[in-house]
Amino acid sequence: MTNRSRLASALVTTGLLTWSAWLMAGDPAAGAAAWVKEYPQADGSPARSCVSCHGRELTRPGSQVNTGKVIKPLAPSVEPARLTDPAKIEKWLLRNCRWTLGRECTADEKDDFISYIRTQ
Amino acid sequence: MNKTMLTLTLTTVGLLTAVATGLAISDDDHREHRRSTTPRADVDPVTNSFYAEECGSCHMAYQPGLLPARSWNVIMTPAALADHFGDDASLPDESREAIGRYLSANAADFSDKKRSRSFAKAALGEMPDPAGGGPRITENRYFVRKHDEIPLRLVTGNPEVGSFSQCDSCHGRANDGVYNEHDVVIPGHGRWED
């Protein structure tokens, strides 16, 4: 093995380890608990949680609470495309944390949500 | 001789009138037929798949020709998107700008479609208000005039519809840009005839 190829394989291994560390980082149980946590709204509108639009059962479709538009199930077991596009994950976590919690989620909270969804 | 000329002239005029009337009737029939079977888009359909995907995941991807460009420009500001009619619809700047460009370039005031022209005309002189997300299609004066005979119980009071913003609940081909009034079926009520 040349030095160069050794370096390359070391880099690939590191990359894979980082990737799997990221995948394993969250706590699915914490994510499941956060999923149903309700946040009262100051303007008198109904309390919000992830369940408001996605429902409790992630293998089933949800429904956008304001427009009624059907949301495909979040569970990768029934929608394999879920959690495959990092930009899409970030976009929705940003929007949905702001709308539901009234603030952006921390990196740990996001990891918990992702790891919970991944188990579904 | 004069009498013969007069008779000939009258006959000719009569024949021409009959032919013209016949043509007019058949043309009407043709138009009526086409209207009831294959209504054409009266607003240009959405052609941008990125817009359709990004905005259509929460609500119908409204055709750009339903609002003038200056209204779309207000809706697509970061502040308006963060409070998008009660939802957070924030987008990364690059996506936001790409969608904004598509919407304004194809807006009602740049369309030659009949209904888009009406939307643009009705919005003339209006100052788009950025509060609460920005201007609403359902508050455009042309839209309001076109829907003012429909009892609220059939729309906002109808659990199968819920809001005037759900175009495709009653206009079955809204996603193709077809908003012909002869095509309207209100869920739980049936065909809507003026």
Q: Residue B66: exposed, middle, or buried by beta-carbon count in 10 A (0-12, 13-18, 19+)?
A: buried
User: Which pLDDT score is estimated for A6?
Assistant: 66
DSSP letter string, A11-76: HHHHHHHHHHHHHHSS-HHHHHHHHH--B--TTSPPPB-THHHH-S-TTS-EE-TTT--EE----T
- Chain B interface includes A63 (CB < 8 A): no
Q: Cα–chain-centroid distance for residue A5?
A: 36
B75 vs B163: CA distance, rounded Å: 19
Our CA-based measurement puts residue B25 at a distance from the nearest CA of chain A, in whole angstroms, of 44
Q: Read off the tokens for B80.
A: 């308006």
Which is higher by pLDDT, A52 or B125?
A: A52
ipTM attached to this prediction:
0.71
Q: Read off the tokens for A109.
A: 């909270």
- Within 10 angstroms of residue B94's Cβ, the number of other Cβ atoms is 8
CB contacts, 8 Å: A104 with chain B: none
Which uninterrupted H or E stretch holds B22?
A: helix B2-37
> Are B82 and A68 within 8 A, CB to CB?
no
Under DSSP, the state recorded for B185 is: E
DSSP letter string, A88-109: HHHHHHHHHHHHHHSSPPPHHH
Give the sign of the dihedral formed by CA A23, CA A27, CA A32, CA A37.
Answer: negative
> Are B86 and A66 within 8 A, CB to CB?
yes
At residue B33, φ and ψ (nearest 5 deg) are: -65, -45
In chain B, % of residues over pLDDT 70: 79
pLDDT in tens, A59-101: 999 999 988 889 999 999 999 999 999 999 999 999 999 999 9
Q: Read off the tokens for A64.
A: 């956008």
Query: Which residue in chain A is spatially nearest to B164 when comparing CA positions?
Result: A67
Under DSSP, the state recorded for A83 is: T
Asked if A73 and A59 touch (Cβ cutoff 8 Å), the reply is yes
pLDDT in tens, A24-68: 589 999 999 999 999 999 888 899 999 999 999 999 999 999 888
Tell me the mean pLDDT in the region B178-186.
Answer: 92
